Amino acid sequence: MNLLDQVVHVFYFGAPAAFLALALPACVRLFRWRQRTTWSWATQSLIIFFTALGVLCVGLWQLGADGKMTTYAAMVLTAASVQWWMS
């Protein structure tokens, strides 16, 4: 695997975490617009991104392959729990 393939693989590995990190705070602000949040949108996104990326890394380490549905389910549950904690 050459360098470009490795960079693309790492990008695609972290893409679900980035999507959740951008979508969850936006959905909270859309559906709970009356509630005042103490965390900024960027802070929430960074915390969720690194939490979800950590879950993906643990899933890769435990299961030996990325892209397993159990890892994605754990990532979504963990990211949602962190967002709930921050709201």
For the chain, 87 residues long, the average pLDDT of each consecutive 10-residue run is 92 95 91 76 95 96 89 96 90
pLDDT recorded at residue 11: 94
What pLDDT score does 38 carry?
78
Rg over CA atoms, the chain: 14
What's residue 77's pLDDT?
Answer: 97
Query: Which pLDDT belongs to residue 4?
Result: 95
Cβ contact 52:25 at 8 Å: no
- Res 34: pLDDT: 72
Show me where the domains of the chain are located.
3-86
What pLDDT shows up at residue 23? Answer: 95
